[in-house]
A and B are shown apart, each in its own frame.
Chain A
Amino acid sequence: MGTSRNVERRTILKAAGASATALGLAATTGCGGDGGASADGTVTIRYAWWGGEPRAIAIKKTIALFEKKNPKIKVKPEFTDYEAFWEKFQTQASGGNPPDVFQNAVGFLRKYDKRGVLMDLKSQADAGNLNLGAFRNGVLANGQVDGKQVGIPVGANTMSLVVDLKAFQKAGVTPEFGWTWDDYFAALQKIQDRVKIAGDTGYFAIMYLYDLYLRQNGKAFFTESGLGFTEADLTRWWEDGYKRVKAGLVADPKKIEQVKPKSGLSAGLAASEFTWDNFSIRYEGEGDSDYGLAPIPTTDGKHTGQYLGSLMLSAFSGSKHPEEAARFIDFMVHDPEVGEIMGYDRGILATTEQYDAFTPTDKTNKGVRAYEEKVAAEGVLGKITPHPSGADVVEAAFLRIGGEVAQGRTKPADAAKTLFGEAKAAFAG
């Protein structure tokens, strides 16, 4: 500190200045997410979604289109994968700083409605900022909770069986509408015998498939406030599943685990996988075979238990720009050009304007359209299962505990008991 041991006033001032600058910097970066209106009246809203790279590219194009037509509104995109999205969203929402507009799914509606995060978009519709008409097949109801419109569907999707066409052909199996679970498992056996691979990637840990099975039998996975089945039901479902893992009809979970995040179907470990029909596009990109959509097996030879689900757009109840948020959502679900850009990435387009504007030209999108038209024509579509608050946590637990059953680490009866325990805590939370 030089020759003088006395500290000069200047030094103190400098230190104070440096500290203040550092704190000031921290403060400005801390408030970066504010997004208020600027001097020229331009408003910035934040829009967040989850999904892969193709979705991000498409959405950014639609944002550019919106900004061109609405020069006073700027849209700031934020995106991650599904799991990270909800972790981040939960933290942001609890801090009162969620995005103004965000992608949503039916499993999260009640949870965030209960926590006061979701805007009732009816008021914005009444104010003329958002058109609630022109939705196909009644999917608008998917975004309603207790009479409030908390989500606006962007698409409609339904569960399907994605199959490796080459493997099915080699085994001589042709899935048809109305085929039963017995037919399905007999098909898996044929595939094992003739193609020497497992038939399925692990059907019994997929909550939305078990929901369909329950609906075929007059039940459903969820009721308005809890689980719609018994421990004994689930024990039997998982016992059967584990038996099929041991028999080799369902792929070895150790191998499925190792190829993640790739699917066991596209890795060639199994010949089929149950998933939402709009996800079918991933397999073409990931795998070497040809893939197609097959019907859900039934219990009675007719009813698949299916319904139309939806990804939707929601707005934050505390948004500083509710009008702009509503107009943005309106544009995203009704504008024909947006429909053309997005395609069936988030399901068959939800509104007639967008549905008519997009004609699929590639095999996968054509397949999705044909599949949903066929399902609708069969007259098997029912009303969507309710999703109480905590449904998202239960879905994750179902997948995890089902995985333990598959690995042979937990007896089905104990596993069912664990799921019921965790579900109880999730509904209470």
Chain B
Amino acid sequence: MTLVKEAPARPAGKRPAAPAAGRRGRRRENLAGYLFMSPWIAGFLLLTAGPMIASLYYAFTSYNLFTPPRWVGLDNFTTMFQDPRWQRSVEVTLKYVVVATPLKLLLALGVALLLAQSRRGQGLYRAAFYLPSLIGASVSVGFVWRALFSDDAIVDRAQRVLGVDVGGWIGNPDYVLYALVALSVWQFGAPMVIFLAGLKQVPRELYEAAEVDGAGALRRFWNITLPMISPVLFFNVLLESIHAFQVFGSAYVVSNTSCGPADATLVYTCYLYQKGFKEAQMGFASAMAWTLVVAVALVTAVLFWSQKKWVHYEEAAK
């Protein structure tokens, strides 16, 4: 992307006098750098990399946290693929990703287009639309969502005015997932801000030229805006779908920690959590985690491969 700037060139004539001293100085500089980083490095190794490597090993074992892990080869994976609840969790997650991600991005892009035009108080609007992204991941919003989508609450009443009578969504296995989708879509602020940045970079003169040629608003959007912001769109699609695959908090809170009713909000990570921390099948849970890593990597790879077909990196954009 064009957002990354070159580091400013070192002012000339300030090179250290002797090359030997310079090398020593550089080594010292590196040492200091690593020392400053060491809390982070220690944290990364102990809290992230170490557990990840351990979980890769556990994925091939039967491990209940108390007795030492027993090597079982691919057993966890074969059991997993045949497990109806695992299949259900995959189904629920895919449905969530496929519905929530495009809706969220559409809304983010739509609002970004509106906010890209200069008008009075635009800073306030931007802040207001961004706000849900800041508080969206919190547990309290999950509780609010439960209240909004229950019987006789605002959503139920609104749909009754429209002549739809399905009752509250929270207790209904057919609808509860869409309450989660709504929660995700409501947090469109982060991709919106990125879209806004992208829109600001589209050169004015392209629009002016198109207008002179008689292109309408729709045509300008389709032939100028969309191709010009396609790198930003690509970035957002990638980020949001990876994010959606890992959804946990909203499902856990909105379902009152059961990921139900009737497993209707049993997203992948929620099942993983149940297997690991409720049933203490850490081997199985680790196998699930690594399967998710591979699946997300595959989706990312497919997206990267597809960008050749629809993402334009314009030289002129520089």
Binding site for B on A (CB under 8 A): 5-7, 11-12, 15-16, 18-19, 22-23, 26, 83, 86-87, 90-91, 93-94, 115-117, 252-261, 393, 396, 400, 403-404, 407, 409-410, 418, 425-426, 429
Contact = CB atoms under 8 A, between A and B. Distances in A.
B262 A407 contact: yes
Interface of B: 14, 16, 21, 24-25, 28-29, 31-32, 35-36, 38-39, 42, 64-67, 84, 146, 150-151, 167-168, 170-173, 256-258, 260-263, 277-281
A90 B65 contact: yes
A40 B39 CA distance: 36
Contacts of A407: 173, 261-262
Nearest to B263: A404
Nearest to A390: B279
B39 A22 contact: yes
30 contacts: A5-B14, A5-B16, A6-B24, A6-B29, A11-B32, A12-B32, A15-B32, A15-B38, A19-B36, A19-B39, A22-B39, A23-B38, A83-B278, A87-B278, A90-B65, A91-B65, A115-B67, A253-B261, A254-B261, A257-B256, A259-B150, A261-B256, A400-B260, A400-B263, A407-B173, A407-B261, A409-B263, A418-B84, A425-B281, A429-B64
A403 B260 contact: yes
Pick the most buried of A22, A260, A261: most chain B CB atoms within 10 A of its CB: A260
Contacts of B170: 257-258
A22 B42 CA distance: 10
Pick the most buried of B16, B36, B171: most chain A CB atoms within 10 A of its CB: B171
B257 A404 contact: no
A254 B278 contact: no
Nearest to B35: A15
B281 A429 contact: yes
B277 A91 contact: yes
A257 B261 contact: yes
Nearest to A269: B151
B9 to A, nearest CB: 15
Nearest to B28: A7
Given A6-B21, A18-B39, 20 more contacts: A5-B29, A12-B28, A12-B31, A12-B32, A18-B36, A19-B38, A90-B277, A90-B280, A91-B277, A254-B167, A254-B171, A254-B261, A258-B170, A259-B150, A403-B262, A404-B262, A404-B263, A409-B262, A410-B262, A426-B279
Contact of A6 (B28, B35, B67, B84): B28
A86 B277 CA distance: 9
Contacts of B256: 257, 260-261
Contact of A7 (B25, B67, B150, B262): B25
A255 B171 contact: yes
Contact of B36 (A15, A260, A418): A15
B160 to A, nearest CB: 16
A404 B259 CA distance: 12
Residues of A contacting B: mostly: helix
A148 to B, nearest CB: 18
Contacts of A396: 278
Given A11-B32, A407-B261, A409-B262, A6 B39 contact: no
A101 to B, nearest CB: 20
A255 B278 contact: no
Q: Which 9 A-B pairs have the closest CB atoms?
A: A257-B171, A254-B171, A94-B65, A15-B35, A115-B66, A6-B25, A258-B171, A409-B262, A22-B39
Nearest to A16: B35
A71 B258 CA distance: 43
A18 B37 CA distance: 10
A400 B270 CA distance: 14
A396 B167 CA distance: 27
Contacts of A400: 258, 260, 263
A71 to B, nearest CB: 36
A115 B257 CA distance: 27
Contacts of A260: 256
A400 B258 CA distance: 8
B47 to A, nearest CB: 10
B92 to A, nearest CB: 13
A7 B32 contact: yes
A356 to B, nearest CB: 40
B278 to A, nearest CB: 6
B156 to A, nearest CB: 10
Nearest to B273: A87
Contacts of A15: 32, 35-36, 38
B288 to A, nearest CB: 15
A22 B38 CA distance: 10
Contact of A393 (B21, B36, B279): B279
Given A5-B25, A22-B39, A258 B260 contact: no
Contacts of A257: 170-171, 256, 260-261
Contact of A258 (B42, B65, B67, B151): B151
A18 B42 CA distance: 13
Nearest to A418: B84
A117 B258 CA distance: 27
A22 B146 CA distance: 41
A132 B75 CA distance: 47
